[in-house]
């Protein structure tokens, strides 16, 4: 973010005071929610399944398709009877917070096709690694070696992509 952009963001924050949550607080709340969901509220099996934006979205979509047609698309065991609704919940929660703080605003997409393609790619990679960025970290924390491998690879990918973005911006 440029200095001007950061200044604007700070001004905006001053104009509309709302509940402020720091990164650490968010991380703690999310981790506790994820562990509690998995260990006490039947968001399992598989293990460490408390939060996963990719797998839970896949479960929801596949469950709906299976319900409406004769297709048998794969869903995780946790979503056999009724699908996990994390995706819906995040949209509701984010929308509520945005409206309450006055941050809800429509922004038109400048490159819709590009965004669409990124979505397709991330979903495919996430299903290949069995976890979105959040669940890879969650699995690592639960002691899954495969999760650790996926998370380490993700960190490498993030670092390379960031340097690539910077190289392209400075070129």
Partner 1 sequence: MTVGAIASLVVGVVIGFVGQRSRMCFVGGIRDYILVRDTFLLKGMIAFGLVAWVAFPLGGLAGGVPIAGFGRPVFMTLLGSAIGGFGVGYVSILANGCPLRQHVLASQGTGSSVYYLAGFFSGVVVFQSVVSPLAVRYLP
Q: Which is nearer to partner 1, 14 or 107 (CB)?
A: 107
What is the C-alpha separation between 49 and 20, in angstroms, rounded? Answer: 28
Two tokens, residue 30: 């999310």
Query: Of 37, 22, 40, 20, nearest to 135 (Cα)?
Result: 37
Using alpha carbons, list the distances in angstroms from residue 6 to 9, 20, 121, 124. 5, 17, 30, 34
- How many CB atoms neighbour CB 128 within 10 A? 10
Minimum distance from residue 98 beta carbon to partner 1 (Å): 4
Smallest distance from partner 1 to CB 68, Å: 14
Tokens of 46: 């598989």
Q: Considering the complex, what minimum distance in angstroms separates the CB of residue 7 from partner 1?
A: 14
CA distances from 28 to 4, 98, 133 (A): 31, 21, 16
Name the residue among 104, 45, 127, 33 with its Cα closest to residue 79: 45
Minimum Å distance from CB 132 to partner 1? 4
Token pair of 90 as six digits: 């995040």
Closest CB 72 distance from partner 1, rounded Å? 11
Q: By C-beta, is 7 or 143 nearer to partner 1?
A: 143
Classify residue 59 by its DSSP letter: H
Please say which residue, 22 or 67, places its beta carbon nearer to partner 1: 22
List the structure tokens of 122. Answer: 């991330």
């Amino acid at each position: 973010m440029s200095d001007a952009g950061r200044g604007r963001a700070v001004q905006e924050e001053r104009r509309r005071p709302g509940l402020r949550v720091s990164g650490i607080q968010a991380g703690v709340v999310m981790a506790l929610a994820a562990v509690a969901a998995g260990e006490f509220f039947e968001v399992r099996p598989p293990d460490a399944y408390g939060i996963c934006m990719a797998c839970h979205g896949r479960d929801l979509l596949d469950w709906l398709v299976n319900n409406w047609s004769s297709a048998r698309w794969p869903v995780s065991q946790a979503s056999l009877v009724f699908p996990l609704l994390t995706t819906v919940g995040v949209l509701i929660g984010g929308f509520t917070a945005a409206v309450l703080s006055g941050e809800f605003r429509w922004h038109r997409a400048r490159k819709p096709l590009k965004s669409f393609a990124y979505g397709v790619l991330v979903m495919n990679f996430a299903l290949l690694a069995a976890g979105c960025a959040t669940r890879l970290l969650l699995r690592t924390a639960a002691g899954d070696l495969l999760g650790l491998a996926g998370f380490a690879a993700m960190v490498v990918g993030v670092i390379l992509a960031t340097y690539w973005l910077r190289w392209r911006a400075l070129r």
